[in-house]
Chain A
């Protein structure tokens, strides 16, 4: 089977487990983002694929070849490091040629590959400079160029944009997206920036606590989070998740919030856990601010964030539950106001006692 397969990867550092049996299939030419908080094991997994760490257990298979027993250079992967890791005493050209030289590629061929990659990345005029004579963005390109010339079957990017300033990060993100169209290889990118993951990846792998929490395309991660961790981690601002009780209902679940408000969701009753205690999750765009008494429930405004085209209103229900709502950019809501909240029950998510997510039936 072409592509990358990870089978039951386990890893512990000095008795502390960091990966507890991870399985993952990556299709050829697929762009995968490893997303998760620090210490969730995502970087370790990338380094295991690269061969910079060895797994305690499990197999790494790339294009039908088991590679976890091979040295890093023989695996057919190329890596872009977070801090670039360029060789400071070599010129850009030498940096890019180093791996090819070590692989005994003929000189003429090396020159051609380096020139091509430099043209693609628009760094031709930098070829004779040394890393210290370049800006962070330029070094980043060289690091990418050094990976491209090797024509790997898989690119591994370790937080590639985290060292760039905000403007450059956006531009490089676009360029990465264009670049991946041109290379005939898969990409795995480690990031803790969900915007990067959402915009670049075909599928996102969400890590937390030594395990993969969910593997899915970006919009599915956003709209159908597998559990409450994914729901909270993806989306900015985070999804509001508050305790609720299941109420009697028909085919779709209805819940009672802590202050007694009843919400009718579109989550099918079938398969919901039996006990009545659940959590309900609402994205801010599913909760609108309206006049007092006109919405689903009333709340008191705690904080207003004006973002320009819209405002975020952080409010508190009578029972103290915090809830984030959206309003127009011209909102008149002020701290301390009592407002109504119109909650779109159809957009709400339910989470069982173990955190498992339940969503409206797929369209």
Chain B
């Protein structure tokens, strides 16, 4: 067999994946880019408008607000989610039966669809009959209108999202914890390290890569937050919880402005790309040397 033949054979093996990848990722990406330069609705052909969609976006306060909301909710979610996932992983990183059961329990929310999640949280957040409302009332306080007060609605979205998304980062942290060799903890014990010192000087540095991964994945994921906002509040009250993807959705499938929505999508894509690359560069100097012992 010549080397050229072998190369073709190799290509055949990856062809199914490559084709699918081209079809459902690369093609839509290019198609979106193309659409964003046209004024086009869902049914008719379009007219080429150049960068007019982008100029319009820059001046659109609704889009601006949706970006701000997206950043705010991402900032609320990612740090807290990371800490909660790490705390759960630390608490459940043991070989007991109850820990195994609890790992399953905490992961279980991740398998629910966003519809179910928002339904559950509507019951929790509703001020008149919800769980939190009842609690607040029991404590003798006025229940908080989580879904109707502009300054409470983003925290409510964040809470819902953390509850929904904590399972996977927790698993990543658990996997990271199990990579830490037991003898390092034994060395730390002989080095008179307190539990606290051991956590800060042994556990946490060993989880550095996992933490970076979790933060990067979650940032990219939460910048695309959509379902919670649409189903819980439909972006309200008065746009206070409208996120960037909800804006896209409303523009494309509510007002049929496909070109305009595509332009917004390209902007969001660039923002996510820029944030992720920045994070990567800031943390990418994890020296290759930290694998060995």
Contact = CB atoms under 8 A, between A and B. Distances in A.
Contacts of A87: 184, 187-188, 201-202, 205, 293
Contact of B287 (A84, A86, A130): A130
Interface in A132-158: 132-134, 139, 146
B192 A99 contact: yes
Contact of B205 (A73, A89, A131): A89
B189 to A, nearest CB: 4
A72 B189 contact: yes
A79 B192 contact: no
A50 B287 CA distance: 33
B191 A85 contact: no
Contact of B191 (A102, A131, A134): A102
A81 B290 CA distance: 19
Given A73-B190, A83-B181, A88 B293 contact: yes
Contacts of A98: 188, 191, 193, 201
B194 interface: yes
Interface string A66-94: 00000111100111011111111110000
A82 B192 CA distance: 20
A284 interface: no
A262 B191 CA distance: 61
Interface in B154-194: 181, 183-184, 186-194
B191 A52 contact: no
Nearest to B194: A102
Task: Give chain A's interface residue range (CB within 8 Å of chain B).
Answer: 20 to 34
Contact of B289 (A78, A79, A84, A133): A133
Interface string B6-50: 000000000000000000000000000000000000000000000
Nearest to A50: B190
A50 B189 CA distance: 10
Majority DSSP secondary structure for residues of B touching A: helix
Contacts of B201: 87, 90, 98
A102 B186 contact: no
Contacts of B191: 73, 98-99, 102, 146
B106 to A, nearest CB: 28
B291 interface: yes
A340 to B, nearest CB: 54
A105 to B, nearest CB: 10
A265 to B, nearest CB: 48
Given A88-B292, A98-B193, A81 B186 contact: yes
Contact of A103 (B188, B192, B202, B289): B192
B192 A52 contact: no
Contacts of B293: 83-88, 131-132, 139
Contacts of B181: 83, 85
A46 to B, nearest CB: 12
Contacts of B190: 50-52, 72-73, 77-79, 99
A102 B208 CA distance: 22
A132 B292 contact: yes
Closest 8 CB pairs of A and B: A132-B292, A73-B192, A99-B191, A132-B289, A85-B183, A89-B205, A102-B192, A85-B187
Interface of B: 181, 183-184, 186-194, 197, 201-202, 205-206, 208, 287-293
11 contacts: A79-B186, A85-B183, A85-B184, A87-B187, A87-B201, A102-B194, A130-B289, A130-B290, A131-B293, A132-B289, A134-B292
